[in-house]
Amino acid sequence: MLYTLQQTDVGKPRLKLAFVRRSQAVLPVDGVFLVIGALVANSSSSIRLPEIYTWDVAFLPIRNAAREWKVEVDVDYARWESIRNFDVRLFNGVILGNPQQWSNAISIGVGTEYRWLSFPGYPAWGVALRTGCLHSQQAIPDVNFNPAAPDGPSHTLSVGGGFLLHRDRTISRLFDLWIRGGILRQEGFGIDVAYQALLFESRTVTGNPNPTVNGTYQTTTHAGSVTMRVNF
């Protein structure tokens, strides 16, 4: 759901509120269970993606024909408690129990984007710069902690940018060369890049059923993306 609270003089949204609900989903996983490389039985399990509720507010202090500046605040509430187990079911009837006691968690993010709809000196180009930060609560308790997914309170910092090349601004010949006489006519071509650093707070795990897991964990994860888009 999206609701506009305030508009610009030309009727474009300036202040917006949004609510999003993502339903729970269960992904089946099939495989084989091996012991020292030998097949014991075919097996199956499932990965449960939680139900997520998101509230958003976005404000554009600047929005005109040349530039846009948007500031957005998002709050996510994920029902991780729906993950009750990671049991593995063998086709010989044996169930390898792996109960979970995950907790619901809230994530709060703040981001901003500054866009030149027509970059000075290059009217065919739209350019955007983006940055933001996100804080997420811990969902996995010590008793279910797994070093393969070192969960904990985290802070995510991100930066990125992109450009959009408009077909109707002096570059129609370039786009016409891509699809000659085709039904689909490209109206724009863009590339976006982003980088994220996930900084997890130091976490000390105690009381795990596997004593080798107990200890202090310090984790940093780096992620990057490159996205290409074509507007028709």
At residue 171, does pLDDT exceed 70? no
At residue 165, does pLDDT exceed 90? no
**pLDDT confidence tier of residue 176, bands split at 50, 70 and 90:** low
Report, as an integer, the average pLDDT of 118-136: 91
Tell me which of 1-10, 72-81, 96-105, 117-126 is least confident.
117-126
- Which pair of tokens denotes residue 173? 């010949």
The label of the residue with tokens 């729906």 reads 82
Report, as an integer, the average pLDDT of 118-142: 92
- Give yes or no for a contact between 128 and 159, defined as CB atoms under 8 angstroms apart: no
Rounded to whole angstroms, the Cα distance separating 65 from 58 reads: 19
